[in-house]
Amino acid sequence: MKSIQELSAVITDELGRIEYPKTPSLLYEPIDYILGLGGKRMRPILVLMAYQLFDKNIEKAFSPALAIEVFHNFTLLHDDIMDNAPLRRGQKTVHEKWNNNVAILSGDTMLVQAYQLIAQVDDTIVKQVLAVFSKAAIQVCEGQQCDMDFETQSDVNIPDYLKMIEYKTAVLLGAALQIGGITAGASKEDQNHLYAFGRDLGIAFQLKDDLLDAFGDADAFGKQVGGDIMANKKTYLYLKALALADGTQRKNLEQYFSTNDTSQVKVDTVKTIFSNLKIPELTTNLIREYHARAMENLAAINSENKEPLLAFSALLMDRVS
């Protein structure tokens, strides 16, 4: 049974084995570039972790694991265009290094490649795996659209936000785990527990990310603290604060989140309101609730090989960046 670090090395090696055509270079070079930028490789590792719950021969799960990673990076190419983001993992985004048209077409090719890779699973399970993958892929797009819609909506509520992060972030974690289970021959019940484990852990992960964006350590977090506040993001912290705020606090929050002000004064004032309303504590409590649900589903899985997944969940929840 391989550790997180060993599985990460396996994914890196397998990604390095993918060979792209030399021409047209403007189609394939950006794909090689984005996949070479690294990252946590969280999703493909989850595929392999789920597989080795039931079978040690993880080579059978390589193609769906790579499919999940290629698909995830496809979404990043298109997300970066929509967000007009200049950097990805400390390097120029594809649309900045080349241009928008190149990034769109390279991303489209990655989506097709992801389906080619996912279809390499055993013929007996290909329809089942494709169904799980396609459902998650559509939900990721739906989540991204909802996230963009929220920028101009004034009536976003907490259930709306939780559904958005479930689709945009969490369902792909659940699908990665479920596909790993399917590939290993897991029972339907264990597949469902794997999906629920990943989904709930993914929601907890995103809530933790929201919390760190406002209250994390800048050096450890790796990006500017308060970025969501500057960008007027309607995160759980903001929505919970609105729900609990008195008249003056609510007026201040709505005023700050209706302007393009990106000053430190805005960040500090909003954070003070959050702190006065105990939003960090309430967010932490919700993170623990989702994490507890995830662990209940992990406990219900019929396997004795859960140590790597236990370590993985602890790593996600204990992170400071």
Q: What residue numbers bound the domain in which 272 lies? A: 4-318
Which one-letter amino acid corresponds to residue 49? M
Q: What does the pLDDT read at residue 220?
A: 63
pTM attached to this predicted model: 0.95
Indicate the pLDDT class of residue 212, thresholds 50, 70 and 90.
very high
CA pair distance 109, 47, nearest whole angstrom? 22
pLDDT for residue 207 is more than 60: yes
Cβ contacts of 148 within 8 Å, gap of 6 or more: 82
CA pair distance 89, 107, nearest whole angstrom? 17
pLDDT for residue 320 is more than 80: no
Indicate the pLDDT class of residue 316, thresholds 50, 70 and 90.
confident
Q: How far is CA 33 from CA 73, 77, 94, 106, in A?
A: 11, 11, 8, 11
| 222-261 confidence digits (pLDDT tens) | 556 899 999 999 999 999 999 999 999 999 999 999 999 9
Segment 142-149 shows an average pLDDT of: 97
Q: What does the pLDDT read at residue 321?
A: 45
| 10-59 confidence digits (pLDDT tens) | 999 999 999 999 999 999 999 999 999 988 899 999 999 999 999 999 99
What are the tokens at 299?
Answer: 């406990």
> In the chain, how many H helices and how many E strands?
17, 2
| CATH value at residue 54 | 1.10.600.10
Of the candidates 315, 228, 313, 309, the one whose C-alpha atom is nearest the C-alpha of residue 274 is 228
Which one-letter amino acid corresponds to residue 231? A
CB 276 within 8 A of CB 250: no
Domain count, the chain: 1
Q: What does the pLDDT read at residue 38?
A: 85
What are the tokens at 10?
Answer: 């396996």
pLDDT for residue 319 is more than 80: no
**What DSSP state is assigned to residue 94?**
H
What are the tokens at 279?
Answer: 């939003």
| 257-313 confidence digits (pLDDT tens) | 999 999 999 999 999 999 999 999 999 999 999 999 999 999 999 999 999 999 999
| 83-136 confidence digits (pLDDT tens) | 899 989 889 999 999 999 999 999 999 999 999 999 999 999 999 999 999 999
